[in-house]
């Protein structure tokens, strides 16, 4: 495992200059490795992205993308979903798992969008997180990708990688979001999330990360958790969508 100089904070709650520089360099390298990194959920408007993100919990983007065309053909907007037949929605979203809870969330949040926001997805974080089944992670996905409002998406991949990278020692998603946000300009937050999530899905796996072919190797304090032999590591790279 590579030994790096400690990133010592200046004592006022701000990240150290060394940590900021290392984090930004790592982000640049991830962007160079996957310049196509973007949201992998299919959507055409903010409402579709909101519903798709809720359905993606404990599922894969690939599976959600197989389900949403059927769902939106039947219920294309909040007004239609607000009056949806629960049994029909459950049958459609069943492949994504936890279908009863997800059905409850998408119908209830649609009803509230109609009743409280005139049928339009709200553009403010404080409003989005009041909707059933919508937390900061989901809200930031919608804000960043549908409205162009910068946000950090702390999903399982993001949490694992920023901890592995030594960018934070926090375990609470909100605190992770705050500490990582302090390392980067606000305008980069949404793309940063895409870069990390793509990298986590394709190379920096929970088990057996592809360390031997990792462009971040010399900057990563966790180098060596996976195979360091390039030939072995190369076989671990995945390029599936979802």
Question: What pLDDT digit, counting tens, does each position of 75-101 carry?
Answer: 999 999 999 999 999 999 999 999 999
**Which pLDDT belongs to residue 9?**
44
Token representation of residue 46: 């903010």
**Which pLDDT belongs to residue 240?**
55
**Which pLDDT belongs to residue 140?**
97
For residue 190, the number of C-alpha atoms closer than 13 Å in the C-beta half-sphere is: 17
Q: Give every residue of the chain whose pLDDT is below 70, as ranges.
A: 1-13, 240-242
**Which pLDDT belongs to residue 239?**
75
Question: What pLDDT digit, counting tens, does each position of 33-69 carry?
Answer: 999 999 999 999 999 999 999 999 999 999 999 999 9
For residue 96, the number of C-alpha atoms closer than 13 Å in the C-beta half-sphere is: 30
Contacts 24+ apart (CB under 8 A), 151-156: 151/125, 151/189, 151/190, 151/193, 152/177, 152/180, 152/181, 152/189, 152/190, 152/192, 152/193, 153/190, 153/193, 153/197, 154/180, 155/197
Active site (annotated) includes residue 137: yes
Token representation of residue 167: 């960018």
The residue ranges of every structural domain in the chain are 17-33+152-234, 46-146
10 Å CB burial of residue 158 (0-12, 13-18, 19+) is buried
Q: Which of 61, 77, 102, 137 is catalytic?
A: 137
Q: Which of 25, 155, 232, 235 is catalytic?
A: 155
Active site (annotated) includes residue 187: no
State which fold the 17-33+152-234 domain adopts.
Endonuclease Iii, domain 2 (1.10.1670)
The whole-model pTM stands at: 0.90
**Which pLDDT belongs to residue 14?**
83
State which fold the 46-146 domain adopts.
Endonuclease III; domain 1 (1.10.340)
**Which pLDDT belongs to residue 242?**
40
**Which pLDDT belongs to residue 7?**
56
Token representation of residue 241: 């969508």
């Amino acid at each position: 495992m590579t030994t790096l100089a400690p990133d010592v904070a200046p004592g006022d709650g701000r990240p150290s200059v060394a940590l900021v520089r290392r984090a930004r360099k790592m982000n640049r390298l991830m962007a160079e490795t996957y310049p196509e990194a973007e949201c992998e959920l299919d959507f055409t408007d903010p409402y579709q992205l909101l519903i798709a993100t809720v359905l993606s919990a404990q599922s894969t983007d690939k599976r959600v993308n197989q389900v949403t065309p059927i769902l939106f053909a039947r219920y294309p907007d909040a007004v239609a979903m607000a009056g949806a037949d629960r049994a029909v929605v459950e049958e459609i979203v069943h492949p994504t798992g936890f279908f009863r809870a997800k059905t409850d969330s998408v119908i209830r949040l649609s009803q509230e969008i109609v009743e409280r926001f005139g049928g339009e997805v709200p553009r403010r974080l404080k409003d989005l997180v009041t909707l059933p089944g919508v937390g900061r992670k989901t809200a930031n996905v919608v804000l960043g990708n549908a409205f162009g409002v910068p946000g950090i998406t702390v999903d399982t991949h993001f949490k694992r990688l920023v901890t592995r990278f030594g960018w934070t020692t926090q375990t609470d998603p909100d605190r992770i979001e705050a500490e990582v946000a302090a390392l980067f300009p606000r305008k980069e937050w949404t793309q940063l999330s895409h870069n990390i999530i793509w990298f986590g899905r394709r190379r920096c796996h929970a088990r057996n990360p592809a360390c031997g072919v990792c462009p971040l190797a010399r900057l990563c304090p966790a180098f060596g958790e996976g195979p360091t032999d390039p030939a072995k590591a190369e076989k671990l790279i995945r390029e599936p969508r979802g």
